[in-house]
Amino acid sequence: MPDIIQLLPDHVANQIAAGEVVQRPSSVVKELLENAIDAKATNITLIIKEAGKLLIQVIDNGKGMSQTDARLSFERHATSKIKKAEDLFNLNTKGFRGEALASIAAIAHVDLKSKQENQELGTHIKIKGSSLIFQENTSTPKGTSIAVKNLFYNIPARRNFLKSNSIETRHIINEFQRVALAHPNISFSFYHNKSEVYNLSTSNLRQRIVAIFGKKTNEKLVPINEVTDVLEIKGFITKPEFAKKKRGEQFFFVNDRFIKNAYLNHAVTNAFESLLSNGYFPTYFLYLTVPTKSIDINIHPTKTEIKFEDEKTLYAILRSTVKHSLGQYNVAPILDFERSASFDTPYNFKDKKSDTPKVTVNPDFNPFKSDEQKATKFPYKRESTEQWEHLYTGIDIQNIEVESETVNTSLFSEEKITSKTYQIHKKYIVSSIKSGIVYINQHLAHQRILYEEFLENITVKEAMSQQLLFPLEISFNKDDIELIKEIKEDLESVGFLFDKILDDTIIVKGIPVTITESQITIIIEQLLEDIKNDVPNASFSQLDIMAKSLAKSLAIKTGTKLDLKEQEEIVNKLFICKQPDMSPFGKTTFVTEAIEEIDKKFNN
């Protein structure tokens, strides 16, 4: 038999590597911004077009590259940041793999200009799908500008896989915010389709947070400061009364690198304890500094997860530091903050051998697994659904008009629910049907009803809207405002009416008839969050996400007592739905039990 193994050509290897490094436009943004920071830039500009699908450009005033380096930077494993394996344990840079530019160049059109301080002329390079188109001298300012165009132009499957512009933009804004928050001493600007999204001048941390999240944030921030032998913590938490029904604004940075860590997140949430009502999340911006030697971030290319070996110690310090700050700012009951023995324990490092926290590589890490699969490993994964349910005590559904009396789905055409209905356990509506019994889950059934109603309103564009007597002002972050602007038309088609959309406030003058004024803020917040997170099972359509989100927020809850009329209404409306048997999230809305089945149970 002939030998059959061959080495893959570089451009193929690069394309494969790109699959891991570049998942979507925001991955490119992250890599380019980090390169600019590693190059010691003090001023960085990000320009994107069409959510990065058309163009992602990063311009920095960093140290630039020599002609040879500029060409080499696109080779795989070409890096100036480490030389030997030990360097991995003493990293002071964001990058080290030397993979990003090679990967990006394999799947896009790249245009690079770069010049070092002492050079007369800079270098201009064009690369398309790993092949060099040209390299020539050019006059360009000190620093580097990299433009990445037509991402995934040669991988149609990937390109088609990209989400809507607003979702991809959201990912980019997230990356940008993380980098900008980690480096308040660098000035950043960010343009999308020529309009300015952020313009952040050099500042201190508080000013940077306020510049990103809006001026109303300032009064909410409680500073955190703690230095121990094993780590230093600084940053801010927000006062409990400003906790959100979404967990978007939670930031951990370890040595200026954004990380996600469910365990540490739990430490912070736990410190808030009873100060938060169920379903609310604290906002925080926490910066942990640990000795570089004790960190190994060489886990996977997107580098947001690090695992600390001595997580317990970190947990204890973090929890008590947050508690302490909450106490100092008189935002927690004083009793908690008597310096009791238990409170002091985490500080007893003098008496302990002070182990530096170690970070271990997760050998089971599989970048191809979905996030959800990975997350289940964490013991502290919060339940992501359901919690919002506690918030509502029930919605007055008496105002919903009964549209039709006839129940005409195929299943029920022969067996109309004519007999009386009963509610059991404030959860199910039960009724006798010709073939036996039907049990309807009131919450899921109502979700289906509302979902179809919203969809219909959206498509016929004639949602009923109720004018508010006094227009309502609601403040949002700048980036939430961006999102609201993008989905304004869709919001209008479900019945929202806006008077004005300002920089950090919206003025609402009309709302869908199905909601009450007190629910508006929470519903819009939930909606934005769902769009950002692209609710599981959602189709690609934003309108669909919106209809689902509203249905989820507004459906009567389990635990709500329903009178007869309300029960009938649910039953009637459910069975004129196009797909009555399933909630918009794919859960069964009703089950039936045939009389023969019941008979069998008596004949044993």
Positions in the binding site for Mg ion (CB under 5 A): 35, 95, 100
Q: Which amino acid is at 286?
A: L
Please identify, using beta-carbon distances, which residue of 95 and 510 lies nearer to ligand ADP: 95
Shortest Å distance, C-beta 444 to Mg ion: 47
Residue 576 interacts with, from ligand ADP, Mg ion, none (CB under 5-8 Å by kind):
none
For position 57 contacting ligand ADP by CB under 6 A, the verdict is: no
Burial of residue 78 (CB within 10 Å: 0-12, 13-18, 19+) is middle
Contact 122, 139 (CB under 8 A): yes
CA–CA dist 162, 53 (Å, integer): 9
Q: What is the CA radius of gyration of the chain?
A: 28
For position 17 contacting ligand ADP by CB under 6 A, the verdict is: no
Give the one residue of 30, 97, 257, 552 binding ligand ADP; rule: CB under 6 A: 97
Residue nearest to ligand ADP (CB): 95
Residues 34-53 that bind ligand ADP (CB under 6 A): 35-36, 38-39
Q: Which stretch binds ligand ADP (CB under 6 A): 73-81, 170-178, 274-282, 363-371?
A: 73-81
Shortest Å distance, C-beta 93 to ligand ADP: 7
**CB neighbours of residue 155 within 10 Å:** 18
Shortest Å distance, C-beta 211 to ligand ADP: 23
Please identify, using beta-carbon distances, which residue of 110 and 243 lies nearer to ligand ADP: 110
For position 78 contacting ligand ADP by CB under 6 A, the verdict is: yes
User: Which residues fall within 8 angstroms of residue 599, CB to CB, at 6 or more apart?
Assistant: none
Please identify, using beta-carbon distances, which residue of 54 and 78 lies nearer to ligand ADP: 78
Residue 479 interacts with, from Mg ion, ligand ADP, none (CB under 5-8 Å by kind):
none
Give the one residue of 25, 62, 122, 235 binding ligand ADP; rule: CB under 6 A: 62
CA–CA dist 90, 290 (Å, integer): 11
Q: Which stretch binds ligand ADP (CB under 6 A): 96-104, 220-228, 282-290, 378-386?
A: 96-104
Tell which residue, 512, 520, 524, has the closest CA to residue 467.
512
Tell which residue, 420, 440, 445, has the closest CA to residue 593.
440
- Please tell me what DSSP assigns to residue 422: E
How big is the chain, counted in residues? 604
Helix, coil or strand: residue 248: coil
Give the one residue of 14, 26, 29, 31 binding ligand ADP; rule: CB under 6 A: 31
Residue 437 interacts with, from Mg ion, ligand ADP, none (CB under 5-8 Å by kind):
none
User: Which residues fall within 8 angstroms of residue 213, CB to CB, at 6 or more apart?
Assistant: 249, 477, 478
**What is the total count of residues that contact ligand ADP (CB under 6 A)?**
24
Residues 235-264 that bind ligand ADP (CB under 6 A): none
Give the one residue of 19, 98, 279, 301 binding ligand ADP; rule: CB under 6 A: 98
Contact 476, 522 (CB under 8 A): no
**CB neighbours of residue 296 within 10 Å:** 16
CA–CA dist 164, 158 (Å, integer): 13
**Residue holding tokens 């990058």?**
95
Shortest Å distance, C-beta 140 to ligand ADP: 12
Contact 443, 557 (CB under 8 A): yes
Residue 60 interacts with, from ligand ADP, Mg ion, none (CB under 5-8 Å by kind):
ligand ADP
Please identify, using beta-carbon distances, which residue of 80 and 164 lies nearer to Mg ion: 80
Instruction: Using alpha carbons, list the distances in angstroms from residue 43 to 46, 102, 202, 390.
Output: 10, 24, 9, 46
Residues at the site binding ligand ADP, with contacts judged by CB under 6 A: 31, 35-36, 38-39, 60, 62-65, 73, 78-81, 95-102, 144
